Amino acid sequence: MKILYIDMDNVLVDFNSGIGKLSEELLIRYKDHYDDAPGVFELMDPMPGALDAFHLLAQHFDTFILSTAPWHNPSAWSDKPQWVQRYLGKAANRRLILTHRKDLNRGDYLVDDQHKWGAVHFIGEWIQFGSPEFPDWETVTAYLLPRA
């Protein structure tokens, strides 16, 4: 079975939705670096279509979540697993990998919106979520399913 990695922030998770739920105090304190705000990652909503796409793709690929947590935000390291458990449940049980070097993971596909953290050097195919070619989950699943 082919290995598929999926990023969290702005791929599975709507990052901006968490920012909108921060208190006024945290919005001011973390103005230029919201990803360091305690608890922000647990507040985020799923991206449109992300949950259905994950469950569908997990039936055809050996699917993992490959994400980065901000180094200076200790709550992110616990918020991300909690988000995965809440929204993806058993389908993602023990399938979350937090790393700052995505290129060190072996696999066939990586769905990620950013070229950072080694995504651009991933050995396998990098599918840039949010790009003109892959603007949403519908286009990503339409591309991946025939390749399973």
pLDDT, tens digit (0-9, with 9 covering 90-100), for 94-112:
899 888 888 878 899 999 9
Write down the pTM of the prediction. Answer: 0.90
What is the reported pLDDT for 57?
97
- Residue 36 gets which letter from DSSP? G
Number of H helices, E strands in the chain: 5, 7
Q: Using CA atoms, how far apart are residues 124 and 121, in angstroms rounded to an integer?
A: 9
Share of the chain above pLDDT 90, in %: 51
Domains, the chain, ranges and CATH? 3-14+45-147 (3.40.50.1000)
Residue 88 backbone dihedrals phi, psi, to 5 degrees = -115, -20
Annotated catalytic, 9?
yes
Annotated catalytic, 36?
no
Q: Region 119-146: what's the mean pLDDT?
A: 93
Whether 3 contacts 109, CB under 8 Å:
yes
Q: Which of 7, 79, 108, 112 is catalytic?
A: 7
pLDDT, tens digit (0-9, with 9 covering 90-100), for 42-80:
889 999 999 999 999 999 999 999 998 877 888 888 899
pLDDT band, very low/low/confident/very high, at 37 (cuts 50, 70, 90): confident
Q: Using CA atoms, how far apart are residues 66 and 113, in angstroms rounded to an integer?
A: 12
**39-76 CB burial, b ≥16 within 10 A, e <16:** bbbbbbbbbeebbebbebbbebbebbbbbbbbeebebb
